[in-house]
Amino acid sequence: MDSNNKLGLIGKNISYSFSKKYFEDKFNKKKLTDFSYEIFDLQEINEVENVFSEPDVLGFNVTIPYKEKIIDYLDELSDEAQKIGAVNCVLIENGKKTGYNTDAFGFEKTLIAHKKPHHESALVLGNGGAAKAVQYILDKNNIPYQTISRKSELNFENLDQKTVSENKLIIQCTPVGTFPNTEDCLKFPFEALTNQHLVIDLIYNPECSKFILNSSRNGAKTVNGYYMLEQQAEKAWEIWSFKKK
């Protein structure tokens, strides 16, 4: 479809993307015939130059594995994106490329909707772009956290039951278990979870990841990434739609 307001998503191996359908449904509902949404599946980040050179691109979302790498290709960052060090939304205005982080907005909405007073400290699983947005929001809400990643001191090999039982908020920020690899699951001491735990898995496809299934079997309250995704998409739309050509 010809459109003078092109939006899209850049990432790698992203045929499963939620964003295309979400935004196309939005355009239909609002009768916005001058908008389109495309998938830009890039094998390497430098291919983003081709996206920038396309006429009428108003902006795009950024997903795994480019949320941090995209920064080198931008002219400016919003305050949050600067502090977080990751970008998931880009606005192109008069040739100027500005990076935003709407993941933080989406995660904060999710956290506030589900958090209880006893969720005083957190474990953040993963240390990529999504985890950085989560860490930013935990800091903002004065929730102390420890980050577990493959290379950190506290990692998936030495994470013990005691640490899990002491931290009642668990946020799974890695792509492990995402479609099509739905049988994959992080190594994690699920038996340490209780009905006092809140487990937020940022994965939305499948709806119930192996991580969520294992957590709920051990009594934890579980939330997937769909609401966060919706909220970050709405925030991105707010950024783009005020700037349309």
The phi, psi pair for 233, rounded to 5°, reads -65, -40
Nearest alpha-carbon partner for 222 in 199, 194, 205: 199
The phi, psi pair for 140, rounded to 5°, reads -60, -35
Known catalytic residue: 97? no
Catalytic residue among 6, 67, 109, 210: 67
* DSSP E strand stretches across the chain: 5-11, 35-41, 57-62, 76-77, 89-93, 96-100, 122-125, 145-148, 169-172, 198-201, 221-223
Which residues are marked as active site? 67
